[in-house]
Amino acid sequence: MNKAIIEKAIIGRKLGMTQVFTPDGKVIPVTVIEAGPCPIVQVKTLERDGYSAVKLGFGATEEKLLNKPEAGLFKKTGVPAQKVLKEFRFEKAEEMKVGDVLSCEEFAAGDKVDVSGVSKGHGFTGVIKRWNNRRLKETHGVGPVHREVGSMGANSSPSRVFKGKKMPGQYGHENVTVLNLEVVKVDKERNVILLKGAVPGPVKGIVTIRNSVKA
């Protein structure tokens, strides 16, 4: 759940990257995102739930693929089954109604937005790929440790490895938010938003777009 109070947001799917040309001939790299349509599945109120929020759905799916709580929610509200569910704390959440649909028209060219997604997973990697460390010398005497971590800084004092030491481990597959991306174009007919620059995640990855909180 996104705890920040926001004006507008939408769920989308990353389709890839391309480029567009400005009237004066400049090239702008853009990420193409299929944004919406996102039906409102549930509206939470301060009196009943303790806070105001709206749950949006994205990506039509079959009811048999849902678990029982999700299937019961869609059956109760009458909204078609959706594959992705995400909750947002809109400023005017309690004024929204179940069944209303949010589309890419919520945004316009020139808007500043924040985009969140899950970055590409690279599995268990070494310090060179994970932390951009340098290789050790490849001369005789170094031994078969050219891509190793190197010194741990351990000595008789403190006789341990300090917390935060950059070591091999899981790289990627974590929540990443890119701030202040610019909306270059909104295609209402195709439900597509073009954002200037790169967006976290692989192609077909699910992302959320919201108005920028630090613009």
- For 142-172, write each residue's pLDDT tens digit: 888 889 988 887 788 888 888 999 999 999 9
- Does a structural domain hold residue 145? no
* pLDDT confidence bin for 177, thresholds 50/70/90: very high
- Does a structural domain hold residue 190? yes
CATH of the domain at 54: 3.30.160.810
* pLDDT confidence bin for 126, thresholds 50/70/90: very high
Q: Which helix (H) or strand (E) holds 48?
A: helix 46-49
The percent of residues in the chain predicted with pLDDT above 90, rounded, is 46
How much is the pLDDT for 20?
92
CB burial class (10 A; 0-12, 13-18, 19+) of residue 10? buried
The region of weakest confidence among 4-8, 99-103, 207-211 is: 4-8
- Does a structural domain hold residue 103? yes
The whole-chain average pLDDT of the chain stands at: 89
- Does a structural domain hold residue 161? no
Q: What is the number of other CB atoms lying within 10 angstroms of the CB of residue 208? A: 22
Q: Does residue 1 have a pLDDT over 60? A: no
* pLDDT confidence bin for 119, thresholds 50/70/90: very high
Range of the domain at 69: 2-110+182-207
- Does a structural domain hold residue 62? yes
How far from chain centre, in Å, is Cα 116? 3
How much is the pLDDT for 4?
63
How much is the pLDDT for 59?
87
CA–CA separation, 196 vs 185, rounded Å? 9
- Does a structural domain hold residue 47? yes
Distances (CA, A) of 127 to 137, 150, 160: 16, 10, 19
**Taking residues 104-112, what's their average pLDDT?**
89
How far from chain centre, in Å, is Cα 109? 20
User: Based on the structure, what is the number of domains in the chain?
Assistant: 1
